[in-house]
Structure 1
């Protein structure tokens, strides 16, 4: 992992040294910040929306005297609810890029995941998935979606409702790696039923980038998953894999940036859908030119229009995206500006026209912002990010969209 972190620092370095030039004029006001339920020392936020429109925020806090706690809160008309605890432990694998998550299934049950260490020497860790049938008051025993039994990395999980009503999960799986430096990371898929029984494990791609986030969404025509791929020539662009008519199709290249890099940039893509409208956001630094772009589709991801560049000239990536019922989208990313490191948003119209960028909050420090997350409920887009100030804390804001 140290190798990948070092490469990520290099990418941030040449981004900071690039000549500042706004791609679009930034005149929009910042989104309105709302009081966060997360306390001091919190981080690794995740957002999801329930079928009834409620927004769920999950995050990690440090436990006393040691370890970590996974907590969550629900946003209602009066703001965020009192925080509740999912689980706690002293052997968790905690990393700003590989964060826990919580989603709400169509039947109202909750599913959450976190990571636990197997071997600190090799940075091996397992995925733990739990369910709650009573709104988070009680949780089941942890279930691992992978059954390989290897002391390797398993993480970067995306969870979603599978077509048969079971929980679906994709993740990066290191079972084929001989050690941290050799072998191939794979993209895997399985389902878990209401009774806790896991389904068959399926390999979606046998060679992927080692530590970039995955992302998945459900459309009327099936499932879509995006991830950073890895070719034999170390080209690490974005690929897509589709589940339709009861089976997974072979993966296909989604972007053709030609980013050749000998190591993982720790900068995965994001995908979102609203009906048959789909949006994908991603970061690349091909040809030593960092940029953030969005692809949009009107046919459930079967075809995509031309890429739309959305950054302001000096991005660090760490993207997220939410689709809008209008066919447009809102994308977020981290931008390095004269004022410091900032979390920014940009709305893209259904025609593909980008609006002005919006600064959610000015931050400071190389790791500020973490990996901002977004979720849409009605006309509200909720944003969560980690402010790595003197006392790191998860902060939240809301943007009203048309």
Structure 2
């Protein structure tokens, strides 16, 4: 059953938020929430201790999370609040990712994939995405379905970081792309950008022309702005800055962008810092990502980021983000129109601003907004899932 909560947001109206019980144990974290053809699915990691982890998957049916399937488990995984597993559904197929250590180094791990039917029938188990064989960092995976032909996948790849440049510094992370067939073959792999930010989440969406990948770039001068790169009829264009924020930072902010697509329309939300002011911005495109409009600032207080976005209709999106004021840290949402109309914020929850919260996940199904994030109860991680009607915003 749902538990009804009444929350008075920063607006003057009451917003009803329904708590969706998550009844599948404790020690759960790293959620990844996905909508596909009117259905909702969730993957997460359960880890009772640092030496044992398992990847699980559930679907939302008849108002509840159904009994989960265990996809994989192991004692040699890399489990991290920011670099969480990804999954995607295509017809009756589901593909999932997790990270497996390849050596004793802290950041030496590979991306492992599992492909199966929703019924649980295995198609291909525990196969490598990155086949470079280099003991380095590989992760921050994003996956979407490729019509009925399998999946598109993108990730950050550290195969070049083991090499040093002439100045003695290690080469940067790259961002790569591949296709996964319905039988689990990794094909058409390519490098999209030879220098990407080290540990910011990637994002990918499907336009009418092909996939678009969104990520945080890294220049030689340590400018770490958001870039996009499009595949047009099978050919990758050159990477382009989404907006010239000019954020110079000598280290990764661990705060990636998120893209959503609806026909020819796109919306990208991201965290940045301009003139020492942390911002959450959103920008729209009506041209399949060929160009984007002026960004709209969303945060009213100190932005933390950890953003997500989903289309409500052709012109409006819901954005989730974290921000902090003099009282505490909050998970909030706003409705934003492509013409720049922005709703007042709605507070979903007061939350922990640390790593234990992870990256909150947002999806919309039939005008219902679903959000999942990680909470800690007596030092034990649990998943918190809620929903609210978009008509209340």
Q: Same fold (TM over 0.5)?
A: yes
Output the CA distance in 1 between the equivalents of 2:238 and 2:353: 41
Q: Compared with structure 1, are the counterparts of its residues 182 and 30 closer, same or farther at alpha carbon in structure 2 (3 Å cutoff)?
A: farther
Q: Which has the higher contact order (CA 8 A, sep 6+)?
A: 1
1:20-46 C-alpha deviation (Å, 9 max, x unpaired)? xxxx96445364322124432211000
Answering whether residue 102 of structure 2 is matched by residue 95 of structure 1, we say no
Q: Compared with structure 1, are the counterparts of its residues 334 and 365 closer, same or farther at alpha carbon in structure 2 (3 Å cutoff)?
A: closer
Q: Report if aligned partners of 1:365, 1:389 keep a CA contact under 8 Å in 2.
A: no
> Which of 289, 299, 312 is matched with 1:324 structurally?
312
Q: Report if aligned partners of 1:27, 1:356 keep a CA contact under 8 Å in 2.
A: no
TM-score of the superposed pair, with normalisation by structure 1: 0.89
Answering whether residue 199 of structure 2 is matched by residue 211 of structure 1, we say yes
**How far does residue 349 in structure 1 lie from its aligned partner after superposition?**
2.4
**How far does residue 94 in structure 1 lie from its aligned partner after superposition?**
0.4
Structure 1 stretch displaced more, 37-46 or 84-93: 37-46
Q: Report if aligned partners of 2:123, 2:184 keep a CA contact under 8 Å in 1.
A: no
Q: Report if aligned partners of 1:373, 1:384 keep a CA contact under 8 Å in 2.
A: yes
What SS does the corresponding residue of 1:371 show, helix, strand or coil? Answer: coil
Q: Report if aligned partners of 2:196, 2:216 keep a CA contact under 8 Å in 1.
A: yes
Output the CA distance in 1 between the equivalents of 2:108 and 2:195: 18
Structure 2 unaligned runs (5+)? 1-8
1:286-328 C-alpha deviation (Å, 9 max, x unpaired)? 3211110100122222222210111122111111111222321
Answering whether residue 292 of structure 2 is matched by residue 304 of structure 1, we say yes
> Which of 34, 39, 46 is matched with 1:48 structurally?
34
> Which of 105, 113, 117 is matched with 1:129 structurally?
113
Q: Report if aligned partners of 1:278, 1:300 keep a CA contact under 8 Å in 2.
A: yes
What SS does the corresponding residue of 1:87 show, helix, strand or coil? Answer: strand
Answering whether residue 280 of structure 2 is matched by residue 292 of structure 1, we say yes
What SS does the corresponding residue of 1:148 show, helix, strand or coil? Answer: coil
Output the CA distance in 1 between the equivalents of 2:129 and 2:332: 34
Answering whether residue 131 of structure 2 is matched by residue 147 of structure 1, we say yes
Structure 1 unaligned runs (5+)? 1-23
Answering whether residue 385 of structure 2 is matched by residue 396 of structure 1, we say yes
What SS does the corresponding residue of 2:275 show, helix, strand or coil? Answer: helix
Structure 1 stretch displaced more, 292-301 or 64-73: 64-73
**How far does residue 217 in structure 1 lie from its aligned partner after superposition?**
0.5
Partner residue, 2:222? 234
Q: Report if aligned partners of 1:30, 1:361 keep a CA contact under 8 Å in 2.
A: no
Report the number of matched residues: 377
> Which of 91, 97, 100 is matched with 1:113 structurally?
97
TM-score of the superposed pair, with normalisation by structure 2: 0.91
What SS does the corresponding residue of 1:119 show, helix, strand or coil? Answer: coil
Answering whether residue 205 of structure 2 is matched by residue 220 of structure 1, we say no
Name the structure with the higher strand share. 2
Q: Report if aligned partners of 2:10, 2:346 keep a CA contact under 8 Å in 1.
A: no
Output the CA distance in 2 between the equivalents of 1:295 and 1:365: 25
Output the CA distance in 2 between the equivalents of 1:381 and 1:115: 29
Pairing of 1:2-401 with structure 2 (within 5 A):
26-27=11-12, 29=15, 31-51=17-37, 53-63=38-48, 66-105=51-90, 107-136=91-120, 138=122, 140-162=124-146, 165-178=149-162, 182-364=170-352, 366-390=354-378, 391-401=380-390
